[in-house]
Structure 1
Amino acid sequence: MFKKTSFMLAGTLMLMAAIVMVSKPALLDMQAEAASENGAQAESSLVRSHSPILGQADAPVTIVEFFDPACEACRAFYPLTKRILETYPEKVRLIVRYTPFHGDVSDKAIRVLEVARRQGVFEPVLEALLARQEQWASHGSFDESAILEIASEAGLDRAAAEEQLTSADVQAVIDQDMADVRANQIRQTPTFFINGEPLDPFGMQALIDAVERHVQATSEAEDGQ
């Protein structure tokens, strides 16, 4: 287990206080199903087979994040979720759900991310776009060429991507994720679920604590077998 104090990042918390207005989503009576015996990802309105997965695919603790790459709060949370995955490499996975709440800029970045997933470079492209978010999405600005340039530098095949961005397959993924955004009453990004339970109260320390509880419960269950 890691110490709570290791995540008390004052500057980041000040950023969150300034930019996040949290409306509590209704408690949902649902939980992502476990992967089937053949390793295929079971479907639910929280977890889809197409959803990007960071961490070990069959980890017993699942964080689902409704995520907008143009969202400053999502950028602020990413180092924390990455650290959690590094702390529990065999216990925790992160599933990303596309949530384009910032209009055209979000839609474009999400299309690039989905094509990156299909090309096998989702994580490096994600990290590059978040690290340079101010370059392409600062104060609502929209620099489409910068998104593709940054993604290409991170490993995206730009020529292939430009043909895939508006494909029916990519559109179907976005449409499904938006349907799930509505089904789960998502009103802000990021919104987190841990093993199907909404994160409530919301916050960095609350996410740490919730993951730690689920990891501990999973470990105790395994020890009791």
Structure 2
Amino acid sequence: MKKPWLPALLLPLVLTLLPTQSLQAAHGDPSAAALQVLVDGNERFASGHLSHPKNLIARRHEIAPKQHPIAFVLSCSDSRVPPELVFDQGLGDLFVSRVAGHVLGDEVMGSMEYAVEHLDVPLIVVLGHERCGAVQAAVDALEKGTQPSGHIRSLVKRITPAVKTAQQSHPSDLVEASVRANVQRVVDEIKASHPQYAKRIHERKFRIVGARYDLETGKVELLDCE
């Protein structure tokens, strides 16, 4: 990934302190600038050199009148994958929606649209992770006929199409392949959900990316979800 023109050590600090609308001035492509902030933040998290949280008292007062998150992150509810920590971001930096298997529902879509349309967020990240329990449940339901009880079935139903897609390539690790396929499927669903998204992507004002988090290394891999 091409590095922005600001020095690498200063970029995360400068851009996370800027309101979202100022990302355009800091970088020709605000979505690329926001993504670079997250990439650099994850590098700090994985290496154990965190720079957040900021002075929480001062930061709390700063953002109380209005929020300016730089990205919307849709991630799994898994306790091991908190986006703010994974990307080394502070209070008010990310607009986050978490649901098992990062599946889409009307409530999630509404939250996403609010972030994009009312907060001018230039970036959406769909963050999957290895050994996802929701994906495992969908795999078990499809391969073993093990149907979960209660509302977990709704999660499995939404993830099952991704498992079927992954099966077609006969992977050695179906759960891992399904995790990646599920990220791709959700990215595609988001892109197709709103007519303005394609226009903004074309104008390089906005992007939607898929990613996969490694529980062992702490590293986020950006997936090719074009």
**TM-score under structure 2 length normalisation:** 0.27
**TM-score under structure 1 length normalisation:** 0.27
Higher relative CO (Cα under 8 Å, sequence separation at least 6) belongs to 1
